[in-house]
Amino acid sequence: MLPRELRGCCNENSLLDFSKIEIPAMDVIWSDLNLWIAAANIAFNPLFWNMVARWEFRTKKLSQTFGSPKVACSVLAVTIIVLGVIRDYRFNEALNSQPRWKMLHQNWILLLGYLYITVGSVLVLCSFFALGFFGTFLGDYFGMLMDEKVTGFPFNLMDNPMYWGSTLNFLGTALVKASPAGILLTCFVAVCYKIAIFFEWPFTEKIYQERDEGKKVI
């Protein structure tokens, strides 16, 4: 049997008073307009390019307006790039106007953030080079189909590496800035991309299926 003083060490005579342990608050200022503008930009971008690309696929209006599918797709690409720059700017503005979380002020988290940004950038850039300019910017919807499915790096690691690389960039930035709001916005980015993939993937598959069926008929 343990001595009385040892039996009481984890009860009434405990040296640790867990009621006095404080966990730093994960503060998010919900009334901050920058937060909601950033969220709106994040949601708008994939909605915009999916709606415009599908409209073009069905009507060919952009190709008719600009004289060729390549020019029309290039105009859409420039628009997507500009919207992406605006989105990234609004994301950083939201992080700068939000509180920082003390628990994230650690060197290893800072290094992890830079690692995520590096890996994310590699995934995005390698995806771009693997797909090419028109393959990246929805050329399929303009009738510029690829000869075969891209299976090289980074597509041999995961599906939609450009989307997930971009998500890692957002997460890395949030960690570098020790921003809980940034982490929440990154989760929202992932949700928006997942929804975009849900609609894009079957539609793109349908485009190539119709192309292949047309070849068989010929």
210 labeled binding residue: no
Residue 164: CB atoms within 10 A of its CB come to: 22
Structure tokens at 196: 């975009």
30 labeled binding residue: no
36 labeled binding residue: no
- What does the DSSP assignment read for 136-152? HTTGGGGT---SS---S
49 labeled binding residue: no
Whose CA is closest to 54, among 199, 191, 211? 199
Return the residue matching tokens 């650690």: 106
Give the three-class secondary structure for 50.
Answer: helix
Task: Give just the sign of the alpha carbon dihedral 65, 66, 71, 75.
Answer: negative
- Give the annotated binding-site residues: 118-120, 200-201
Annotated binding site for S-adenosyl-L-methionine: 118-120, 200-201
